[in-house]
Amino acid sequence: MKITIGSRKSKLAMWQTYYVQKKLIKAGLETDIITMETKGDKILNTSIAKIGSKGVFTEELEDQLASGAIDIAVHSAKDMPSILPDHFTLIAFTDRERSEDVLLSHNPGLNIDDPKENITLGTSSVRRRALLKLHYPHIQTIDIRGNLQTRVKKMKEGLCDGIMLAYAGVHRMEMDSMIIKTFPRDQFIPPVGQGCVAIEASTSLAPERRKAIRACLNNPESEACLLAERAFLRQLEGGCSIPAFALAVLDQNIVTLTGGLVSLDGKKNITSTRIGPSTHAESLGRDLGAFILESGGKELLTRIRQQQGSS
């Protein structure tokens, strides 16, 4: 059986693709890789929030899935919309890397904890900007797009003093030596799916292919956590353009899910936690999402979308 894998062309996307390919080959499956650029790769002078979060990094790959040109698409789970288009589904979630946000800088002496310092950090994340305003109101932020190598180059050229990124991508690109701070997860709760690779397929994928792929790629612990997190985000009808966050942790089949929503100016933060068996992972996410909406989140989301539309 040969599995054709679709991927974006960036170095990080290819790391993830080769990681998946090795697991498939180890299981005795033949593989082929097809690469392409997505809308999110091509439009680098506009923030993700303004492009629109639906399909920014997935649409072109889904066209290939629909045509049968590829069997699976490899994604960073955090890039996936909370609601997939009809006829597509996530069939596997890989082992999860550490999910923290980290700060990279070419200046090892950079101290963001000193309110007297005039510091500018680069990030393309609405969530990170909002949480920085909450916890580090003295820091300025600037939108920075492109792959990890491009962002580091822009930083070194003077665009900003440091850049906020996911630990997983930094580690996979072997840039750990540039990390000067790891943000605690209780302050900077990650976005849904951070650190995990998601495998997307068409619902028409042959059952025997789906079964073979899941058998060697899917991590049941990751799946339980991601089902809870994605159900939460789906309840909020959100994607990467809103400052929502959620992290599920599994311990002895018990899921602890913490998530919420923060205003763009960081002044309002609605966060809560749900705990329950992994068999109820999705219902935990839905329950948490409903609570956040009922606790002021609905009005906050309306205001966020109005602000994004007018900016």
Query: So which residues are the catalytic ones?
Result: 78-79, 127-128, 145, 151, 240
User: Which of these, 184, 195, 201, 182, lies nearest to 225 by C-alpha position?
Assistant: 195
d(CA 34, CA 124): 27
106 touches 177 (CB < 8 A)? no
Tally of CB atoms within 10 A around 161: 21
- Residue count (the chain): 311
Pairing relationship of beta strands 162-166 and 120-122 according to DSSP bridges: parallel
80 touches 198 (CB < 8 A)? yes
Angle ∠(45,49,52) on CA atoms, nearest 5: 95
Q: Would you give the DSSP letter of residue 297? A: I
d(CA 259, CA 274): 9
d(CA 37, CA 15): 15
What is the layout of strands, in order, in the sheet containing 254-262?
244-251, 254-262, 269-277
Pairing relationship of beta strands 244-251 and 254-262 according to DSSP bridges: antiparallel
Residue given tokens 């080959």 in the structure block: 25
